[in-house]
Structure 1
């Protein structure tokens, strides 16, 4: 079972929910921090990191003695990452745009292209008790966010119960993170911005055909419009986390909500059980 925790915007409490949900699971589980541009789940989960390794993508290089600059590579590249200039006998590769699909190398009529590995980030792997932790960290300046998310998921594999801390927003990285999830938790806050972005995220998960529910964080600070939207759309609110100073203080100290007191241990265990019953 894979549970993705997502949000339409940053700062709603997505990591707060995903970490505490993972801690509530009895027995072995996996935790994937796929917010690869700003991973921070390790601050709260505090895993013992055992491995750290490079993540890379294959990018093409040319053997000029074989290339006739026919332009097939340029035509098949969906990302405009390679250009052939027959008049100057040059082939230019923009590594940062390449997604490593291999189409140019495979379809080159002259077999003039080969691939080298280009680092795009690192993967960290470790344990917190029975939780197997995986984290992707994108290199500064990289735009291959979705590619690194795919690599982390492939490295983790499919092993039992998995909680995914998705990147915020509703663009390609979020879609890739939740694409093969069995259930999606949408974390929001009761504000106009929170509702606006919730509507977009809700539309995405419905389009993907994913079972889903809502968690309202900072409950009580804003208005009731999120509750009204949930009722109008028939989307269940599974948990409400109140807007309280002690919760904010615990967060600032890196203390998961699950560890704050017994009430929250029970609440997150019940949340996990609710999700399990829906699948």
Structure 2
């Protein structure tokens, strides 16, 4: 079973919840839990695991077209077939160019070309690393090549590290509701939304709820910093029959632990109780 952790708004504590669930679920399920950081533009789960040991690291690439100007007739058929406007051809100037930032490696241009004027080359996409941690089944992260806009392609590849047969993968999604988030939650069996009891938190929660309903994903909500803000988020959940998985109170001591990257040391009692309650509810979903 795959569980994705997402949030419409950055700063709600999604990373804190993701790594904490990895910790508490690993205790309950005999270390059969994976953490997969799908926030490939800014992966930061590993910050809380200073003793993690790297096991494997590999560069990953996408296959993109390269134009052979000696064979190209500048007929523009490949341009017409490209749905992403990645190929530019100016017939009068005999100019042809591929924009790799727009290319999605779909292969349509190869089908379109009748003159063998395109060949496949590797374009750097980023890297995928796997780490061994002192508990759990380990962490995998994708790290996007600087300047690349192909987040979803790398997320697809890093999700292949998930072992849903032997482990329980936790997919830490990027914030927001754009394509990288959709790609992350696409294979998930259940989605946990992390929000906060503020007007901004509720606004972005509503957008994310609509997204998950549209793609027909079961989900529940965790309210972080629950003793701050107002009650509007709870009224929204109740009015829309959305499961409330738990409320994690704001704790200054816990925030200080976070700032030092020490989430698993001296966990405040009220925070640990909140997570244990959440784990109890998730257990019925996982089992």
TM-score interval, smaller chain: over 0.9
CA distance in 2, matches of 1:175, 1:260: 33
Could you tell me how far 1:89 is from its partner in structure 2? 2.1
Structural RMSD (CA): 1.9
Q: TM-score, normalised by structure 2?
A: 0.90
Structure 1 moving runs of 4+ over 3 Å: 155-159, 261-270
**Corresponding position of 1:35:** 39
Q: Is the 8 A contact 1:258 1:264 kept in 2?
A: no
Q: Is the 8 A contact 1:20 1:258 kept in 2?
A: no
**Corresponding position of 2:68:** 63
Q: Is the 8 A contact 1:30 1:163 kept in 2?
A: yes
The secondary structure found in structure 1 opposite 2:138 is strand
CA distance in 1, matches of 2:187, 2:160: 12
Is residue 210 from structure 1 mapped to residue 217 from structure 2 by the alignment?
yes
CA distance in 2, matches of 1:258, 1:131: 20
Could you tell me how far 1:233 is from its partner in structure 2? 0.6
CA distance in 1, matches of 2:275, 2:137: 16
CA distance in 1, matches of 2:121, 2:81: 19
Could you tell me how far 1:222 is from its partner in structure 2? 0.4
The secondary structure found in structure 2 opposite 1:24 is helix
- Structure 2's unaligned 5+ residue stretches are none
Residues 75/43 of structure 1: CA separation in 2 closer, same or farther (3 Å cut):
same
**Corresponding position of 2:160:** 154
Could you tell me how far 1:21 is from its partner in structure 2? 1.0
**Corresponding position of 2:130:** 125
Could you tell me how far 1:179 is from its partner in structure 2? 0.8
The secondary structure found in structure 2 opposite 1:38 is coil
CA distance in 2, matches of 1:245, 1:12: 15
Q: Is the 8 A contact 1:120 1:148 kept in 2?
A: yes
**Corresponding position of 1:4:** 4
Is residue 19 from structure 1 mapped to residue 19 from structure 2 by the alignment?
yes
Could you tell me how far 1:65 is from its partner in structure 2? 2.8
Q: Is the 8 A contact 2:192 2:221 kept in 1?
A: yes
CA distance in 2, matches of 1:242, 1:117: 48
The secondary structure found in structure 2 opposite 1:235 is coil
CA distance in 1, matches of 2:123, 2:266: 41
* CA offset digits 1:160-193 (Å, max 9, x no partner): 3100110000011111111110010000001000
Instruction: Please give the residue correspondences for 1:169-188 in structure 2 after superposition, counting only pairs within 5 Å.
Output: 169-188=176-195
Q: TM-score, normalised by structure 1?
A: 0.93
The secondary structure found in structure 2 opposite 1:87 is coil
Could you tell me how far 1:69 is from its partner in structure 2? 1.8
Q: Is the 8 A contact 1:7 1:14 kept in 2?
A: yes
